[in-house]
Structure 1
C-alpha cells in the first residue's frame, strides 16, 4: 500500500515536468521573436533620426551659448546657464511637436520603431525629471554643484538609447556611437573644472546625437 505522500508526489512531479516543458517552449518562442525582430530591424528604416538631429543641434547651440555665458562674454548673470537650457528644452519640445506631425511615417508602424520611440521618449522624460530635480536641489541647498554631473548623465543616457537601438535594429555602427557616448560621459567628468566643459559637451551632442540622427534620416529617406 502506497504512502499518502507518495500518492501526492506523483502528480506533483508531473505538474513540474509539464511546467518545465511549457517554460522551455515559452523561452524558445521568446528567442524566436527576438531573432525575428533583429532580422526585421536590419531591413526596417529607423524613423527617429529627425528628432535626434533637432535635439543635438538645439542643445549643441545652447551649450555653446552656455560656454560663452560661463566666461561672462554675454553679460548674463550667474543663473543664465539654467535659463539657457530651459529655453533650449522648450524649443526642443516645440520641434518634437512639429516633427511628429510633419515627418513621413514610412515604417513608423513597425514594432521596432514603436519600441525605439518609447525608449527615446523615456530617456527624454528621465532628462526632464533630472533637470527639475536639479532645480529643486539647487533651491533647497543653495548650490549649483548639482549640475556638475549633468553632462555625464545626459551622455550616459544617450549611450543607453543608442545601445538599445543597435541591439534592436542590428546596425553595428550604432554600437560605436553608444560606446562613444559612454566615453564622452567620462570625458565630460574629466573636464568638470574646465571653462571648456560646455563647449566640449555641445560638440559631443552634435557629434553623438545630431550626426547619427542625420545619418538615420538620410537612410530613411533613401528607402522611402
Structure 2
C-alpha cells in the first residue's frame, strides 16, 4: 500500500469518526412531538377510562371516535412539528437522522398495528384485543428510546427504554379492569411527555 493510499484510509477513518462525533454532540430535536403524544393520547386514555368505568356515558362507537380524533390531532401536530424541526441546527446530523428513523419506525408500527387490531376486533366482534394496545405502545416506545440513547450517547434515555420494557408486561395485570387505561395515561406521561420536555430544553433555539 502506497503512502497516498494509507493517507486516504486515515482520512476516511477520520471522516467516519467525525460523523459519529457529530451525531453524539448535536442536540436531539423533536421533543415537542413526544410532548404532544403524551398530552393527546394521555388525555384520550383518561377519557377512555371514564367511559369504561361509567363515569361518562358513551356508546361503544365513542371509543372509535375518541381514538380516531386523538390520532387526527396528533398527526396534524406531527406534520407541523416535522417541518419546524427541519430548520433546527443539527437536525440533519447523523444522530438526529437515526433517532428520527427509529421513532418513525415505532410510530408507523403503532399505526399499522392499531389498524390490524381494529380489523381483528371487527371480525371477532370483541373489544378484548384493544387491551393489548398499551403493552404494544410501551414496547415500541422502548425501542424508540433505545435507538435514541445509542445515537445520542445520553444514558438517561436507556432508563426510559428499560422502563418501557418493564411496563410492557406489567400493565397486562390490569387487563379486564378500567384501571388499565388509568394506568396507561401516567405511563405516557413518564415515557413521552416528561422526556419530551427535557429534549425541548436541550434543543437549539436558532433556525438556519
TM-score tier (shorter):
0.7 to 0.9
1:63-78 correspondence runs (5 A): 63-78=45-60
Structure 1 distance, partners of 2:131, 2:162, is 22
Task: Summarize the alignment of residues 169-208 of structure 1 with structure 2, pairs less than 5 Å apart.
Answer: 169-208=152-191
Quick one: distance in 1 between partners of 2:182 and 2:205? Answer: 33
TM-score for the superposition, normalised by structure 1: 0.80
Superposed, which structure 2 residues align to 1:25-36 within 5 Å?
A: 33=16
Task: Show CA shifts across 1:72-118 (max 9, x none).
Answer: 22210123223211110110001111222334512111122112112
RMSD of the TM alignment (CA)? 2.2
Unaligned runs of 5+ in 1: 1-25
- Alignment counterpart, residue 106 of structure 2, candidates 104, 123, 148: 123
User: Counterpart of 1:47?
Assistant: 29
For 2:21 and 2:89, locate their aligned partners in 1 and report how far apart those are by CA, in whole Å: 18
Q: TM-score, normalised by structure 2?
A: 0.86
156, 178, 189: which is aligned to 2:139?
Answer: 156
TM-aligned CA deviation for residue 132 of structure 1: 0.7
Equivalent residues of 2:31, 2:200 under 8 A apart? yes
Question: How many Å separate the matches in 1 of 2:61 and 2:185?
Answer: 19
Unaligned 5+ segments in structure 2 are: 1-8
- Pair member with larger Rg: 1
CA–CA separation in structure 2 for the residues paired with 1:159 and 1:167: 12
Q: Which residue of structure 2 aligns with residue 100 of structure 1? A: 82
CA distance in 2, matches of 1:78, 1:101: 36
Contact in 2 for aligned 1:38/1:170 (Cα 8 Å): no
* Equivalent residue number for residue 22 of structure 1: none
Determine the C-alpha separation between the residues in 1 that align with 2:158 and 2:44.
Answer: 27
Relative distance call for 1:38 and 1:169 in structure 2 (3 A) is: farther
Which residue matches 2:200? 217
Q: Secondary structure at the match of 1:46?
A: coil
* Structure 2 contact 134–171 (Cα < 8 Å) conserved: yes
Give 1:139 deviation, angstroms.
1.4
